[in-house]
Structure 1
Amino acid sequence: MKEDYKKYADEVVQLRHYFHQHPELSNQEIETTEKIKEILTGWGIKIIPTELETGLVAEIKGESKGATIALRADIDALPVEERTDLAFKSESEGIMHACGHDLHITSLLGAIRYFNGHKNLIKGTVRFLFQPAEETGSGANQVLAKDVLHGVQAILGFHNNPNFKTNEIALQKGPMMAGCYKFEIKISGRGSHGAKPEKGSDPIVTLGEMISSLQTIVSRNINPQDAVVVSVTRVSAGSVWNIIPGEAVLGGTVRLFKLENAELVKQRLTKIAENIAAAHDQEVSVDWEERTLPIANDAALTNAVIDNLDFKVVQPILSMAGEDFATYQKQVPGVFAFVGSNGAPDAADWHDPKFIGLDETLPTGIGYFVEGALGILNYLNT
């Protein structure tokens, strides 16, 4: 379909600047939620009551009956101090939309503006989900726990991506973003004076062996054709220069695309930690936390979206970053894409204090929501 989405982008670009200037952290998006409510109420859009503390759901029914689908945008920001020269840079100290969720909010608002004037194109119902707390990995779980998606047959979302140009949409069936897992290993030894190591049981030596051995999980247990990352990102032990501590802690993250690899990594990580600790007559505890699942796009719905997009669709670069959109896909088939938001060779990436998502992203973001939604409705109603 052919449509000039720039006029809808022009309507919401100042709103984008407002949201960028007033970012709020996960589960604290109170003013953001109120601003979205104010906008939608002014447009005459129905807001569905929910038990969500932040975030909201709106709805537009078409002129004919059909399927019910949801379009999702996340609304939270990050604890990052902005270091850009944008005229609309963050006014909140230490908080920034360093992942570009302000672009997601306003792309969805632009899509709502479009659908409010084109209800004749909707065969069914479109719900608009403004989701809190994506950055903590808990927002989608909150939405599902409150039964907000009851009756929804498919869900559509995207994440801006500064590695692509603003007129590009990166999309494919199957994997898009990795599952994200967090681990922490606590080693309990026995402290002693640094001059008398034989009097204790040094957990720092054990920690060092574990860090090296954990790297064999990928190199010697995972199919080389599978993408898996095991990263130790935090170590803690001791506080005095001449005392061997009684405890040491290491933590990190695992990223992967296949669920079966998650169980394999968890088993190997636990066994390595336990066996190395046992070799030193020490005790260990392992905490494993699933933060986000891998995103895997429904094949049929993805084809329906791509076939209806009047944009340049390119091959995605699989991302090891996590996104809790995958949580919805456990219950509802969905499609998730990357929408280009910069494209410059030196563009700062997500979570960087110098991240810049361009306003020119908005027409493509709006168009993706509109055309993707109509493609899915056409498929479901056939």
Structure 2
Amino acid sequence: MMFRFQEEVEWEHRSKAAGRMHACGHDAHTAMLLGAARILHDHRHELQGTVVLLFQPGEEVGSGAKKMVEAGAVDNVEAIFGFHVTVMLPTGVVGSRAGPLLAGCGFFEAVITGKGGHAAIPHSSVDPVLAASSVVLALQSLVSREADPLEAQVVTVTRFRGGGAFNVIPDSATIGGTFRCFSNEGFMRLKRRIEEVIVAQSAVHRCGAVVDFHAGGRPLLPPTINSAALHAHFQAVAAETVGAGAVRAAMAPCMGSEDFAAFSEAVPSSHFYFVGIRNETAGSVHDAHSPHFRVDEGALPYGAAMHASLAMTYLQRKQREAPHDEL
């Protein structure tokens, strides 16, 4: 995705459009998958099945994978792997975990409506700013008082807009934010409770409220949960490809989200992992979405080799496990 901020690194691949940059590494993902395609093509006579390569668009807005699923891209696919580059791991290192890896993610926007009027006579108005302020505070109790302390969850309000003049109570106020959770059950409960709290707390202050969970066209993304069997496969392949010492097989889960989860819903046997790009010498030390973000191109062969090896060895294993007629 191209972001509207100025790229603050000087390098060969800097955007030619001012204020635009590729700040997350999806160009590297494409290059890695093209590299995997080359490897698979060179070894096509050794393949014992079909490999589908998915060049996923729109990851940042959370809609690309879903559209590909709807278009039939993963029909008849029985296992699927995906990756993302990260500066959390050095170049040459890969990592993942079994079970929940990335959180489910939702966004919400609520319009809280009252009755505007002059700030000097507040009793003649119904103040939506006060109602919205109460809503923001009440939403914090969903994690602190309703969630199991052992289950990580996040509810964060990031937007608060109401009125424009210092002496006028507006007719409405708008708040918005995000919520995250590692289980589908917890994620849907959070969604339900966010709406209930916003509507009920607004009513306490005599205001109405409408909640939108698809503001800006963003879909709800379920958690990214790795198959235990495919994670074992990933560990074995990674040890052979990059060396056992360069495999982080028990990474901590991350509250970030990934619409690879849409593929996982369609193909339950799924696995997502990270490819390290941290390299101080190359200047690859800044997190994604930073104007200083850059990819260490030395990481490209590792991603290409991992994806090609995961596919080839998976097909070989399935072929060995397939029942054969006795002569």
Structure 1-normalised TM-score? Answer: 0.77
The answer for the alignment partner of 2:233 in structure 1 is 304
**Does the CA-based 8 Å contact 1:305-1:376 persist in structure 2?**
no
- Given residue 194 of structure 1, which amino acid in structure 2 is its aligned partner? A
| 1:316 Cα deviation from its structure 2 partner | 2.1
The answer for the alignment partner of 2:324 in structure 1 is none
Q: How does 1:133-282 map to 2 (within 5 A)?
A: 133-282=58-207
**Does the CA-based 8 Å contact 1:305-1:375 persist in structure 2?**
no
Distance across 2 between alignment mates of 1:308 and 1:167 = 14
The answer for the alignment partner of 1:340 in structure 2 is 276
| 1:337 Cα deviation from its structure 2 partner | 0.2
| 1:361 Cα deviation from its structure 2 partner | 1.0
**Does the CA-based 8 Å contact 2:284-2:294 persist in structure 1?**
no
The question of 1:319 aligning with 2:254 is answered: yes
| 1:87 Cα deviation from its structure 2 partner | 2.9
More strand by share: 1
Bigger shift: residues 79-88 or 335-344: 79-88
**Does the CA-based 8 Å contact 1:77-1:101 persist in structure 2?**
no
Name the CA shift for 1:77/1:351 in 2 (closer, same or farther; >3 Å). same
Runs (5+) with no aligned partner, structure 2: 322-327
The answer for the alignment partner of 1:373 in structure 2 is 311
Structure 2-normalised TM-score? Answer: 0.90
The answer for the alignment partner of 2:287 in structure 1 is 349
| 1:78 Cα deviation from its structure 2 partner | 3.4
- Given residue 276 of structure 2, which amino acid in structure 1 is its aligned partner? G
The answer for the alignment partner of 1:56 in structure 2 is none
The answer for the alignment partner of 1:22 in structure 2 is none
The question of 1:359 aligning with 2:297 is answered: yes
Name the CA shift for 1:338/1:265 in 2 (closer, same or farther; >3 Å). same
- Given residue 63 of structure 2, which amino acid in structure 1 is its aligned partner? S
What per-residue deviation string (whole Å, max 9, x for no partner) do you get for residues 48-94 of structure 1? xxxxxxxxxxxxxxxxxxxxxxxxxxxx4434431112232121222
| 1:306 Cα deviation from its structure 2 partner | 1.7
Aligned residues: 307
Distance across 2 between alignment mates of 1:88 and 1:271 = 48
**Does the CA-based 8 Å contact 1:183-1:287 persist in structure 2?**
yes
Bigger shift: residues 125-134 or 311-320: 311-320
What per-residue deviation string (whole Å, max 9, x for no partner) do you get for residues 111-131 of structure 1? 111111111321111111111
The answer for the alignment partner of 1:51 in structure 2 is none
The answer for the alignment partner of 1:128 in structure 2 is 53
Distance across 2 between alignment mates of 1:281 and 1:352 = 42
Supply the RMSD in Å over aligned alpha carbons: 1.6
| 1:161 Cα deviation from its structure 2 partner | 0.6
| 1:318 Cα deviation from its structure 2 partner | 2.1
| 1:343 Cα deviation from its structure 2 partner | 5.2
Moved over 3 A (4+): 76-80, 343-346
| 1:346 Cα deviation from its structure 2 partner | 8.8
**Does the CA-based 8 Å contact 1:154-1:334 persist in structure 2?**
yes
**Does the CA-based 8 Å contact 2:284-2:296 persist in structure 1?**
no
| 1:248 Cα deviation from its structure 2 partner | 0.5
**Does the CA-based 8 Å contact 2:237-2:306 persist in structure 1?**
no
2:266 match: secondary structure: coil
Distance across 2 between alignment mates of 1:78 and 1:178 = 23
Q: How does 1:56-135 map to 2 (within 5 A)?
A: 76-135=1-60
The answer for the alignment partner of 2:325 in structure 1 is none
| 1:141 Cα deviation from its structure 2 partner | 1.2
What per-residue deviation string (whole Å, max 9, x for no partner) do you get for residues 178-231 of structure 1? 111001111110001011111101110111111111111101111111111111
- Given residue 191 of structure 2, which amino acid in structure 1 is its aligned partner? K
**Does the CA-based 8 Å contact 1:77-1:99 persist in structure 2?**
no
**Does the CA-based 8 Å contact 2:279-2:296 persist in structure 1?**
no
The question of 1:291 aligning with 2:220 is answered: yes
- Given residue 203 of structure 1, which amino acid in structure 2 is its aligned partner? P
- Given residue 281 of structure 1, which amino acid in structure 2 is its aligned partner? R
